[in-house]
Structure 1
Amino acid sequence: MGRLAAGLLACAPLALLAVTGAAAAPARPYARMAPVDAYLMDRAQEIALARSAAPAAIAKDATVLVLTRTGYATAVTGSNGFVCWVARSFSGAPDWPERWNPKIRAPGCDNPQAVRTVTRIAELRTALTLTGHSDAEIASRIQAALRSKQIPPLAPGAMCYMMSKSAYLTDDGGHDMAHVMFYVPFKDGADWGANLPGSPVFGGNYWYYTPGHQADAAALPPLSVLLVGVGTWSDGTPAGMAK
């Protein structure tokens, strides 16, 4: 469970740091980006997968994004402020061992508070990655967008549904887990009791997966992700570990 949670926290809208001490090396190394086609999906299938992140009562009226060769684009315009989309491995932490894993498909449905900040960060990171920018350039552009309020500060109540039974989140152990995530402007999840023995809450810093990036993270606003498992998939069926 801990290793899977680490993988979940590593590919935003999954977040971007492992639970302390829980991370394990993936079964296969991914040293470089695969051809872009390996990350793309059939449009209709991607829309359906994105919507499977949340219960139908939410997803049916949500905006849906799909990945193109240059970044995410709106495929469906919704009416409830939620945005459903399928994260790829490079949408998240630049130091995640599975960063270039072309199998990763992480459906998430961000609420309106998360859309304004977290979804926009992921969109910007993805677009810059696909257009060949370096990690340093991407970090600089994200910092500039946050400083200028082009991407606004995180609003209270930001969260994400990740309840799809068809997700593939990591090569390490189980491939999926039904959960919801909460984005908080904290350095860590200590105030929530995250990662303590017996706690149902996993958590970590949003920006980086591994230790050793304190200086890089300090240049960005404090942002953590807290994950709580839920008992059903988005279609209402009982949730277990997907294989």
Structure 2
Amino acid sequence: MFPNLNCNVRAPENSMQKKTLSFLAVVFLVRVVFPCATCRAQTQAEKAPYPDMARLDQYLVPDENSEVALARSAAPASISDAAEVMVLRRDGYATAARGSNGFLCLVERSWGAATGEPDFWNPKVRSPICFNPPAARTFAPIFLMKTKLVLAGKSKAEMVQATATALDKKELPALEPGAMCYMMSKQQYLNDGGKSWHPHLMFFVAGNAAKSWGADLPGSPVMAADDPEERATILMVWVGKWSDGTPAPQAIH
């Protein structure tokens, strides 16, 4: 059900972090790739459950008001009520509600994952996410560009190349310090295995930042995963409640 993550996430030493990271790459849609030959071979050997893009209608939400509400559920109402909200339409994401606090909320689809992930084309994925102002300005544009490429019918290889070229040419902005997001929606569907999983925060840092954050060390609540397609480290922290204030699961079983 889940890929072998030993090659792509730094191995923690305590048991809770080991359990957490056994779900990490697939559940978080954090664009993790498989840098070692063993991981690549295992991935290729598995039958891809979603080998191609489904019909576009399967990724769309017919009622935009429902998608707006789902997007806002990514963060507490004190944040998301004043955020800009974008919804997915046939030609890409578009603003459905203006904001006043600089935050941006939307519902990511499956192509928010790395191109090598088995759920990359899973039409059931709905991942509400609220970006803070630095992330809205400098990290969200990568996903929005990727969406345009998906809707234009580009291949995975073309998406990776286009993203790399845009970053090299500075057509995409450099990642700002302090970029982060909320993923606290009880309604989120992150993939077929993890489903709603656990509410969490993610921090986006340029380069290799795991060590400077103390990530994956014994007792540290910070987990790290590399994001080479977007040239960042994703740092993740569980939180104890969903955005509606109800308690979150305490452990993975």
Which range, TM-score by smaller chain? 0.7 to 0.9
User: 1:172 matched to which residue of 2?
Assistant: 193
Q: Matches of 1:19 and 1:177 in 2, distance apart?
A: 24
Cα offset, 1:224, TM superposition: 1.0
Q: Render the CA deviation track for 1:118-175: whole Å, top value 9, x for unaligned.
A: 1000000011111111233323332333234332101100000001010011212453
The total of aligned residue pairs comes to 226
Q: Which amino acid aligns with 2:181?
A: C
What does residue range 85-164 of structure 1 map to in structure 2 within 5 Å? 85-164=106-185
- Judge conservation of contact 1:174–1:241 (CA < 8 Å) in 2: no
Cα offset, 1:18, TM superposition: 6.9
Higher alpha-carbon deviation: 128-137 or 78-87: 128-137
Secondary structure of 1:126's match? helix
Q: Does 1:80 align with 2:101?
A: yes
Identity among equivalent positions (%) equals 47
Q: Which amino acid aligns with 2:24?
A: A
Q: Matches of 2:81 and 2:203 in 1, distance apart?
A: 21
- Judge conservation of contact 2:135–2:180 (CA < 8 Å) in 1: yes
Q: Matches of 1:201 and 1:65 in 2, distance apart?
A: 29
User: 1:234 matched to which residue of 2?
Assistant: 243
Q: Matches of 1:191 and 1:7 in 2, distance apart?
A: 24
Cα offset, 1:109, TM superposition: 0.2
> For the structure 1 residues 2 and 225, does the alpha-carbon distance in structure 2 shift closer, same or farther, using more than 3 Å as the test?
same
Q: Matches of 2:121 and 2:33 in 1, distance apart?
A: 17
> For the structure 1 residues 19 and 8, does the alpha-carbon distance in structure 2 shift closer, same or farther, using more than 3 Å as the test?
farther
Is there any run of 5+ residues in structure 2 with no aligned partner, and where?
1-19
Q: Which of structure 1's runs of 4+ aligned residues deviate more than 6 A? A: 18-21, 23-28
Higher alpha-carbon Rg:
2
Cα offset, 1:197, TM superposition: 4.4
Is there any run of 5+ residues in structure 1 with no aligned partner, and where?
208-216
User: 2:52 matched to which residue of 1?
Assistant: 32
Q: Render the CA deviation track for 1:180-219: whole Å, top value 9, x for unaligned.
A: 0000112352332323444322211124xxxxxxxxx5xx
Cα offset, 1:68, TM superposition: 1.1
Q: Render the CA deviation track for 1:10-67: whole Å, top value 9, x for unaligned.
A: x2xxx2117999x998997111111111111121111000000001111011000101
- Judge conservation of contact 2:134–2:180 (CA < 8 Å) in 1: yes
Q: Which amino acid aligns with 1:117?
A: T
TM-score w.r.t. the length of structure 1 is 0.83
Q: Which amino acid aligns with 2:57?
A: D
Cα offset, 1:93, TM superposition: 1.1
